[in-house]
Structure 1
Amino acid sequence: MPSAGQSELLEAAYRYALAHGLADLSLRPLAEAIGSSTRVLMFLFGSKDGLVRALLERARVHEPAVLAQLRQEDNPVGLATAAERVWTWLAAGEHCPLLRLWAEACTRSLVEPEGPWAGFAEVTVEDWLNLLAACPPEPQRDAEAGSVRRTAAMPVLRGVLLDLLATDDEPRVTAAVHHQLALRRSDDD
């Protein structure tokens, strides 16, 4: 468990990463921006790679927050309804920095599979599939067809998310999400 000081610096570094990304992360400007030193960051996180891994883990905790809320509802919702709620959260402008960080980290994990990004793309797919699995009623959740539907919902959300990040055309992209989910609703709800 991280110390209070480490947690505080990690949160400050996370806010910095949301604003500046991780691709060209340099410890000296980061340390200066968050009121620390490179020496302290190296002591707390072991290396720049250790800090990047900690920041990616922090992003994984932040990203699926809306899905965790769906999981706590008394009445399970169908997959299409859950996906619509997820999209509403994703499309909200205030989440754009997190989603840009997610896209950057997923891409880096695919092209640099041995670096601090290792496995990030795969583990976030697992995170989302596991959380989406908790949304539908039990018969849909446990059936193999439910797994297939959850897997099919993922590229709809992630694909349009990349489109949204590239174009900032939320109305067009949201209309496409609703269109795709309407096609699936009869099977999912």
Structure 2
Amino acid sequence: MPPHTANPSARQTELLEAAYRYALAHGLADLSLRPLAEAIGSSTRVLMFLFGNKDGLVRALLERARVDELAVLVQLRQEDNPVGLATAAERVWTWIAADEHRPLLRLWAEAYTRSLVEPEGPWAGFAGATVEDWLNVLAACQPEPHRDTEAASVRRTAALAVLRGALLDLLATDDEPRVTAAVHYQLELLRSDEN
């Protein structure tokens, strides 16, 4: 969003959604405004006006991706009773393993990696923010009396490590049955440790 626009216009929202679909299909690594603008029925001038510059557009796309990423996590937070860490991680994995989420997860992996190797610019803070997002949601799924203990923090970090490692393996190999079996194995260990 350009600095002078607090609330996006309908056209800005429409172009962001079109650019997001483009990014899901083509990634962000070699994003060039001219081909993007042509593909979404706009111009580089309009994109520059609406998003400030290419970095502003990339930041807007990363925020848009986080909305999709967090959608499943927010559902877990809205339940009346904490579902437990292993159950929450199992539900997250089911979402991750679904074929229709691969484009989003590839985009997430690209942004996460770029944030680590290019800590300045539009990627700045993306990796750290997404770790915090996931850890906060996993914490909300743990029983409240134990949530703030060091042991609970270690358990949710372990659950996140399993999910993230499995996600990268799934993206690299597309071997969903093998990776899902490994995730279930690890989550059963986590579940037995919760009891």
TM-score between both structures, scaled by the size of structure 1:
0.97
Question: Of 21, 29, 36, which aligns to 1:30?
Answer: 36
Question: Of 4, 9, 27, which aligns to 2:10?
Answer: 4
Q: Compute the RMSD of aligned alpha carbons.
A: 1.0
Matched, 1:98 2:104: yes
Matched, 1:55 2:61: yes
CA distance in 2, matches of 1:7, 1:89: 26
**Where does residue 132 of structure 1 map in the other structure?**
138
Offset from partner CA, 1:108-164 (integer Å, 9 cap, x none)? 011111121111111100110111111122123232221111111111000010000
Q: Hey, which bits of structure 1, 4+ residues long, moved more than 3 A?
A: none
**Where does residue 153 of structure 1 map in the other structure?**
159
CA distance in 2, matches of 1:64, 1:92: 15
The percentage of counterpart residues that share the same residue type is 86
CA distance in 2, matches of 1:99, 1:142: 30
Matched, 1:74 2:80: yes
Equivalent residue pairs, number = 189
Runs of at least 5 residues in structure 1 that lack an aligned partner in the other structure: none
**Where does residue 4 of structure 2 map in the other structure?**
none
Runs of at least 5 residues in structure 2 that lack an aligned partner in the other structure: 1-6
CA shift, 1:66, in A, is 1.1
Letter in 1 for 2:107: L
Matched, 1:144 2:150: yes
CA distance in 2, matches of 1:2, 1:131: 28
CA distance in 2, matches of 1:64, 1:187: 26
Deviates more, 1:43-52 or 1:143-152: 143-152
Deviates more, 1:56-65 or 1:135-144: 135-144
TM-score between both structures, scaled by the size of structure 2:
0.94
CA shift, 1:64, in A, is 2.0
**Where does residue 172 of structure 1 map in the other structure?**
178
CA shift, 1:72, in A, is 0.9
CA distance in 2, matches of 1:72, 1:140: 19
Matched, 1:13 2:19: yes
Offset from partner CA, 1:58-96 (integer Å, 9 cap, x none)? 111111211111111122111000000000000000000
Matched, 1:186 2:192: yes
Offset from partner CA, 1:36-72 (integer Å, 9 cap, x none)? 1100000000100110011001111111211111111
CA distance in 2, matches of 1:55, 1:61: 10
CA distance in 2, matches of 1:5, 1:144: 47
CA shift, 1:188, in A, is 2.7
